[in-house]
Amino acid sequence: MGGKKDGLYKIGEVSRLSGVSIKTIRHYSDEGVLPPSGYTETGYRLYSQVDLSRLETARTLRAAGFDLPTVKRLLAEELGPREAARLQLDAVDLQLKALARRRALLESSFGTGEEGDRGATRPYPDRARALALLSAHEREAFVGRHLEKTVDGIPLDPAWKEWFWKGAVLELPEHLTDEQLEAWVELAELVSDEGFAEAVEKQARPFWESVDGDFDLAAWHESGGEAMREAISAVREGRSPRGKREQAVVERYLEACAQAMNRAGDEKLAGWLLSHYEATVDPRPERYWQLIGILKGWPEKPPHGEAYRWLMEGLRWRIGEGREVPSAPAPG
């Protein structure tokens, strides 16, 4: 071959032999994924047959979804034939999963099988189609990135944030049913909406800025969790928060807030909690938790929004304010 020298190929020949563009090969070389085996006297890069094999492996890994730093680390290992074959099989498995996601999207978008044309639903727009094709890890990263921007600058307790992230962001399923696919697309659009971000920040910032000292997460889980469970039971049983038994639940909730926030559980705190609720009530955060519930396969709609409204009505009754609790959903 005319451009071949001592068993080495110029970058243009590598491009023709591999089908990879010169620009991509040069980028791989610059990133250390495909260092050249030599140079011509005039400084042009030269590649060997081993480099061609390395390039093919890198291309397969990239097609399977590995980023360049990961590809570089994988290729730096001393892999024998068995390990290399296993790596290729793993890459193929990832590609098959991506194809399965595309198949699920097409089936849910256009309908297949006997129902075919008669049962076809509307096609997804381009953005929704792209969102639906994300893997579980990519979905978590997408939601986490948007929520992180929403709470940026708010003095969240680190332990609380870790607990919250587990429920609100992490452990999303890899394979989605039709219902979960619809829920995911709606969730992605919701967290991308500036109005949602503003609603979450409006609810979260005053609370965390009012915490006096360290937030007691254990106390909140124990006392607040018990009060919330009792409130949920009261809502399901149709009990008003004005009774003696029910007011005891409201009292436990107020004490839980006071203990977690290092504040006195008095009428002043009760008034603050109620005023904060009324000033920040918004249906979108509650819808977020409903969609998360669908994605995670929770057996029923999260009842915390209704229970929270019940508690706020109990606080209003407790402090004797003659205001109606807003009918719009509260955050769950």
Q: Give the lowest-confidence range in 24-33, 151-160, 318-327.
A: 318-327
Do 161 and 286 sit in the same domain of this protein? yes
pLDDT digits (tens, 9 = 90+) for 264-277: 888 888 998 988 88
pLDDT digits (tens, 9 = 90+) for 205-250: 888 888 877 787 887 888 888 899 999 999 999 999 999 999 999 9
- Roughly what angle, to the nearest 10 degrees, separates helices 178-192 and 194-210? 70
Do 280 and 257 sit in the same domain of this protein? yes
Per-residue pLDDT, 27: 92
Longest distance between any two alpha carbons in the chain, whole Å: 95
1: in domain: no
Residue type, 296: K
300: in domain: yes
Do 29 and 112 sit in the same domain of this protein? no
Per-residue pLDDT, 2: 40
Do 307 and 328 sit in the same domain of this protein? yes
- Residue 39 half-sphere exposure, CB side, CA atoms within 13 Å? 6
Do 331 and 218 sit in the same domain of this protein? yes
For residues 280 and 210, give the distance between their C-alpha atoms in angstroms, rounded to a whole number.
15
Do 153 and 108 sit in the same domain of this protein? no
295-322 as b/e: b if 16+ CB within 10 A: beeeeeebbbbbbbbbbbbbbbbbeeee
Position 129 confidence tier, pLDDT thresholds 50, 70, 90: low
3: in domain: no
pLDDT digits (tens, 9 = 90+) for 268-323: 889 989 888 888 888 888 899 889 989 888 877 767 888 989 999 999 998 885 44
Do 200 and 187 sit in the same domain of this protein? yes
Do 70 and 186 sit in the same domain of this protein? no
Do 260 and 293 sit in the same domain of this protein? yes
Element (H, E) at 64: none
Do 210 and 236 sit in the same domain of this protein? yes
Residue 160 has pLDDT above 50, yes or no: yes
Question: For residue 27, what is the domain's CATH number?
Answer: 1.10.1660.10
**Alpha carbon separation from 275 to 204, 316, 321, 326 (Å, rounded):** 14, 9, 11, 11
**Alpha carbon separation from 252 to 116, 138, 222, 225, 232 (Å, rounded):** 56, 40, 11, 10, 14
User: Domain range holding 103?
Assistant: 83-123
16: in domain: yes
The values of phi and psi at residue 201, to 5°, are: -65, -40
Residue 47, strand partner residues: 9
234: in domain: yes
| Count of domains for the chain | 3
For residues 235 and 167, give the distance between their C-alpha atoms in angstroms, rounded to a whole number.
23
pLDDT digits (tens, 9 = 90+) for 37-72: 999 888 899 999 899 988 988 888 777 666 787 778
Do 205 and 183 sit in the same domain of this protein? yes
- Of 226, 240, 326, nearest to 281 (Cα)? 326
User: Looking up tokens 């909140």, which residue turns up?
Assistant: 220
**Lookup: tokens for 310:** 């019940």
Do 130 and 176 sit in the same domain of this protein? yes
